[in-house]
A and B are shown apart, each in its own frame.
Chain A
C-alpha cells in the first residue's frame, strides 16, 4: 500500500499516456540485422521538401504553405542531437517566381544547420533555373560527409523541343506544373549530366556509401503525373558497382520506398500537401513499389494532415528514415541488412498495416 509520489507517477506513466519516448531521447537504432564491413562515422541529417510557396500579390503568400515550411524549420531547429545538415528537396516555389524563391530563402534562413539544395520543376521552368543557380545553389554537384559521398542531381530536365514549344516562360511553367497534362513531358537527367556523374563517381571505390539526391524518383512509377525519370535506368547503371546506394527524392508528396538491385529509394514528405497514391486514384497502369506500406489517406479538411518532413540516420552505408508525419503517427523505415531492402519497423506485415485514422 505504501506507494510514494514518485512510484505512483512512474506506475501511471508506464501504463498511461506518457509511455511514448520522443525520438530525441532515445539512442538511435542503426539499421537492422547484420551490418556490412564498411565503416564510417554515423550521423543524422534532416530533409525538408516540396513547400510550394505561392505568391499572391505584393508581399502576400499562401498562408497555409508558408506555415508548413515554418513549422518544419522550427522542428528541425529543435532536434536533438542536432542534425549535421539539412537537405531541401526541391519545389520551394510554386511557379518559379523570384518573389517565391526569395520568400523561401528568407524563411529558410531561420534554419540553424547548413542546407544542401536540390531543385524541383516548380523552381526551374520559369527561368530554366537561372535564379536558382545565381542565388541559391548549383543545379547539380556532389559533396562528401563523414565518409559518405552525396550526389545532387537535377533530374527534372526534359527534351529541348518541348522547352522551346511555349510562347512565354509562364506558359511553359504552368504546363510543367500540371498533372495529367497531355501536353506534358517526362523528366530526365540528360546526357551531359550523366557524363558528369560518371566522372564524379569514378573517383570513389565500391565500398563508399553513396547517397543520391534528386527531386523526381530515379525510377518509373507513373508517367501522367511525372512520378518518373525517363533515363532512370542509365543513372541506376552508373550506380550499380557500389555496394550501398540510397536515393532520396521529393516530388511525390507521400510515404514511398523501394529497392531496385543495390539501390534503396526513399520518397520524402512534403510540407505543402499530400498526393494520393496513383494506384488508389487512377486505374491506369502504374508501378507503385510493392515494398511500400501506404500512408493513411489524408483528411482533406485538415491542412497539415499527410504532410511533414524527415529525419535520417546514416550508418553502415544505409539509411534509417524517420517520417515526421503531422497529424498522423510517425513512421520509421529502415534498411534491413538480412532482407536487403527497406522495412517499415512497425507496419510491414499485412496484419500490422495501419488502421484507418479516426480524427474528424
Chain B
C-alpha cells in the first residue's frame, strides 16, 4: 500500500519512480540535464553486470577484517558518501580525504581528488589494497571468493560469459564500474527549469542564485553549465588554499620528503591516504609538476546538499560555510588559482547561492534531502 502510494505520488509529480536501492540502467528521464553516460568500449553496460557490481560493492568479505565494503564509505542512504570529514577504513583508521559521492562519478575524466586514476575501473581496485581502507595485501582473496562462491560463479557466467577459473580482478572492477555507471542522476529542479522548460521548478531565490552563480560569484568558470547539459565540473584541478596552511611554511621540506619517498618506490595511493602533509600536495603528487601543488579536482555540484561536509578534507561543514570561503577569495597563498578572488557578495546573494545549490538535488535522491533537512 505504501509502495503504491509512492508510485502514485511519483506519477502525479511526473517524476521517475526509480528507487535508489534498485539497479536499473540509466533512463532518459533520470538524465535530464546530463549527457549520455560515458561507457568504455571494452566494458559495455548491462543490467546483469551492474547488478553483480552492486553485490560486489556491498561485499564486506573483500577486506582484511571482514567489516569494510565499498558501501562503508559510499553509503546509499547518505547519497553514496559517508557524512564524515575524512573517511574511516579498517579498525577505524582515518584517511586524509573526504569520500566523494559515487553519484555521477561516471562523468569525471579522472578519479580521486587528485585524478590519479583515469577510469572507474582503475579507481575501484585501489581501496581494496590500501592499508587503511579495505586493508588487503593483494587482490587475490577477492578473486578467490568470486571464483568459489556459487552465487558469484553464476552471476559472472551471466554477466561476462565466463567460466569461474577465468574470472580476474579486472572483471570485478568492470562490474563495480558498471554499477557505478547506473548511479547517475540529473533531473533536479535546476534541470527542469533550465533544460525541461518548467519555469516554475526553481524558487525566486534559486533563480537569483543561478544569476550570482553565473556572474558575480564566478562559480560557473569551473562548475560548468553548458547549453544542453551541465556537469558542474571542468574536470580540472585548482588551488583554493583549502588545507594549504597545513603545509605552506614547511613546503620545501615536505616536497623533499615526497621526492625521497617516490624515489624509494612508495606508491601514491598509500602515501596520500597515510601522510597528511603529502596529501595536501594534491595534484602535484600525480604529475610532479610544481604548478600543481595544492590543486584538487573540481567536484560536481549535483546533489551537493546531500554530501556534507565539503572540500577535499571535509573541512567545511555547510554550504553556507563554503559560500563564505569563496566570498573571501579562498585562502591566500602563492599557488592560489588566479580565478579565486574576493567576491564581495551580499548576505542576500549568499543565501540565494545556497538556495540554488539546494536545487541541484536529483529527484532520484530527493527523499534523502527531505529526510535530512
Contacts and interface: CB of A to CB of B under 8 A. Distances in A.
Q: Do A and B come together as binding partners?
A: yes
Interface of A: 1-6, 8-10, 12-13, 16-18, 20-25, 63-64, 67-68, 70-71, 73-75, 77-80, 301-304, 324, 326-327, 330, 359-360
B162 interface: no
Most buried by A among B143, B221, B268, B288: B288
Contacts of B268: 9, 13, 18
B288 A303 contact: no
Given A9-B267, A16-B122, A74 B335 contact: yes
Contacts of A75: 290-291
B67 interface: no
A323 to B, nearest CB: 12
A24 B289 CA distance: 9
Interface in B226-277: 234, 236, 251-252, 255-256, 259, 262-263, 265, 267-269
Given A25-B259, A78-B255, A5 B287 contact: no
B334 A303 contact: no
Given A25-B263, A68-B338, A304-B338, 19 more contacts: A2-B140, A4-B137, A4-B138, A5-B267, A6-B265, A9-B267, A16-B116, A17-B118, A18-B286, A25-B262, A63-B338, A64-B338, A71-B334, A78-B251, A80-B259, A303-B338, A330-B289, A359-B234, A359-B236
A170 B341 CA distance: 31
A17 B297 CA distance: 15
A304 B140 CA distance: 46
25 contacts: A2-B140, A3-B140, A8-B138, A8-B139, A9-B268, A12-B117, A16-B118, A17-B115, A20-B288, A20-B289, A22-B287, A25-B262, A25-B263, A67-B334, A74-B251, A74-B334, A74-B335, A75-B291, A78-B252, A80-B255, A80-B259, A302-B339, A304-B338, A324-B291, A359-B234
A12 B122 contact: yes
Nearest to B262: A25
B148 to A, nearest CB: 14
A70 B334 contact: yes
B16 interface: no
Contacts of A2: 138, 140
A71 B140 CA distance: 45
Contacts, number: 105
Contacts of A25: 259, 262-263, 288
Interface string B104-142: 000000100001111000100100010000001111100
B336 interface: yes
Contact of A24 (B116, B136, B259, B335): B259
A73 B333 CA distance: 12
A73 B251 CA distance: 13
Given A25-B259, A74-B251, A304-B338, A8 B129 contact: yes
B351 interface: no
Contacts of A21: 288
Contacts of A20: 287-289
Contacts of A16: 116-118, 122
B168 interface: yes
A52 to B, nearest CB: 14
A17 B116 contact: yes
Most buried by A among B129, B263, B268, B338: B338
Contacts of B341: 63
Given A25-B262, A75-B291, A78-B251, A5 B138 contact: yes
Contacts of A67: 334, 336, 338
Contacts of A10: 267
B116 to A, nearest CB: 6
Contacts of B287: 20, 22
Contacts of A22: 259, 287-290
B146 to A, nearest CB: 12
A303 B339 contact: yes
Interface string B325-358: 0000000001111110100000000000000000
Interface string B279-304: 00000001111110100000000000
Closest 6 CB pairs of A and B: A22-B288, A303-B338, A70-B334, A74-B334, A75-B290, A9-B267
Contact of A17 (B110, B125, B265): B110
